[in-house]
Amino acid sequence: MNAEQLISTAQAMVAEGRGILAIDESHGTIKKRFDLINLESNEDNRRDYRQMLLTTEGLGEHISGAILFDETLRQKTRDGVSLVEVMNKAGVLPGIKVDKGAHELAGHPGEKVTEGLDGLRERLAEYAKLGAKFAKWRAVITIGDGMPTSACVEANSHALARYAALCQEAGIVPMVEPEVLMDGNHTIEECYEVTEATLRSLFTALYEQNVLLEGTILKASMVVSGADCAEQAPIEEVAEATVSCLRNAVPASIPGIVFLSGGQSDILATQHLNAMNQLGPHPWPLSFSYGRALQHAALMTWGEAPVENDKKAQAVLAHRAKCNGYAAMGRYSDEVESAK
Ligand code: 5MM
């Protein structure tokens, strides 16, 4: 493990005003996204779409890295240039999703554990050769009747920590993502409690597995009201609760925290990030690693005329990236949003 290299990659991922583009949808998820634009999910269409995103002019200005799915890391543009090369030229670090998805946790109906540790050492060695600089593993925690159980939280933390240690051994920065799902009618207070317990469990596991925190990025969910909760906490409350929860559970040695959007609208995800940064300074940079909240509008534009609309969709992506880049500095405003 080269600690210096891990630390400098991790710091580059959360450089000022920059964040991560999450385009690591597995085949099942990208099919759901393409269904929205009535497009078949086949290898060429997935390449065309992701090529469009990654060849956006000036992408590196507000995007420090992009998380890819295995297929994309190996793909080439229609002109035969590897997408990894395209990213390197744009100053966008290549990342790779290495988990094998969340599966039913035996003995715990309704709860999931993320799989993918078997053979991970060998897969990481190959990904490093293919140019991956960071990796991502997502665990999902559900809030519900009697959930989460400590068995579920601990099983997921243990897997995240084992994955993180293997990444660092391979010279790859681990992005650890314990996502507390927004699904359900729970209150923001319940979300706070579960998120804090999940983070405490995760950092205990990372410590036990000898993971270098300075070379690790946390991908966190925000502390929000459940999607079906009658009372939705306003932006300021979400910002204060999320920051307070993180300050209580995340060591200051973590080089940065990036958020997932989890089903929030594009603009709300940007507003939440901005509000949190306006409460700073914080012990760590707070930035973004959005999937849907960065891609949705661009996907809709592209879907009207795939490939033909590349430039139009790229302008939409560049705009969302800029808005979130500003939010990562606490400088987002209505003027930034409407300046297209
Ligand atoms: C892009 O979506 C990612 C892949 O999910 P699947 O393995 O289920 O296909 C997902 O992990 C994503 O990186 C994060 O959840 C953030 O995405 P959102 O849309 O929540 O910002």
Measured in Å, residue 263 CA sits from the centre of ligand 1 at 10
pLDDT band at 303 (very low <50, low <70, confident <90, very high): very high
Cα distances (Å, whole numbers) of residue 230 to 148, 181, 226, 250: 21, 17, 9, 30
pLDDT band at 72 (very low <50, low <70, confident <90, very high): very high
In the prediction, which pLDDT does 206 show? 99
Considering the chain, what is the average pLDDT of its residues? Answer: 98
Residue nearest to atom 17 of ligand 1 (CA): 291
CB atoms within 10 A of CB 247: 12
Average pLDDT over residues 235-244: 98
Query: Is the link from the previous residue into 281 a cis peptide, with omega within 30 of 0?
Result: yes
Q: So which residues are the catalytic ones?
A: 177, 219
Average pLDDT over residues 322-334: 98
286 pLDDT above the threshold of 80: yes
CA distance 274 to 25: 26
Residue nearest to atom 18 of ligand 1 (CA): 291
Measured in Å, residue 160 CA sits from the centre of ligand 1 at 16
DSSP secondary structure, 221-246, as one string: ------TT-SSPPPHHHHHHHHHHHH
Question: Mutate which of 20, 23, 24 to test ligand 1's pocket (most atoms within 8 Å of Cβ)?
Answer: 24
Name the DSSP class of 97: E
Domain containing 109: what range?
Answer: 3-338
Measured in Å, residue 290 CA sits from the centre of ligand 1 at 8
The partner residues of 136 in beta bridges, in order of sequence, read 97, 175
CA distance 242 to 192: 8
The Cβ-side half-sphere exposure at 111, using a 13 Å CA radius, reads 21
289 pLDDT above the threshold of 90: yes
Measured in Å, residue 97 CA sits from the centre of ligand 1 at 10
In the prediction, which pLDDT does 252 show? 98
Measured in Å, residue 32 CA sits from the centre of ligand 1 at 12
CA distance 193 to 187: 10
Q: Which amino acid is at 260?
A: L
Number of domains in the chain: 1
Nearest in space to 180 (alpha carbons), one of 116, 242, 107, 95: 242
CA distance 155 to 147: 14
The partner residues of 22 in beta bridges, in order of sequence, read 67
In the prediction, which pLDDT does 340 show? 72
Strands (E), the chain: 19-23, 63-68, 93-97, 102-104, 112-114, 134-141, 173-180, 217-220, 257-259, 286-290
% of the chain exceeding 90 in pLDDT: 99
In the prediction, which pLDDT does 1 show? 67
Average pLDDT over residues 16-41: 98
Q: Which residues' Cβ are closer than 6 Å to ligand 1?
A: 22, 24-26, 29, 67, 101, 138, 179, 260-262, 290-293
- Helix (H/G/I), strand (E/B), else coil: 248: helix
Question: Mutate which of 97, 183, 295 to test ligand 1's pocket (most atoms within 8 Å of Cβ)?
Answer: 97
**pLDDT (tens digit per residue) in 81-136:** 999 999 999 999 999 999 999 999 999 999 999 999 999 999 999 999 999 999 99
Question: Mutate which of 260, 267, 273 to test ligand 1's pocket (most atoms within 8 Å of Cβ)?
Answer: 260
Average pLDDT over residues 133-156: 98
CA distance 158 to 2: 23
DSSP secondary structure, 249-261, as one string: HS-TTS--EEE--
Please report the atom of ligand 1 found closest to the CA of residue 269.
21
Write the CATH number for 21.
3.20.20.70
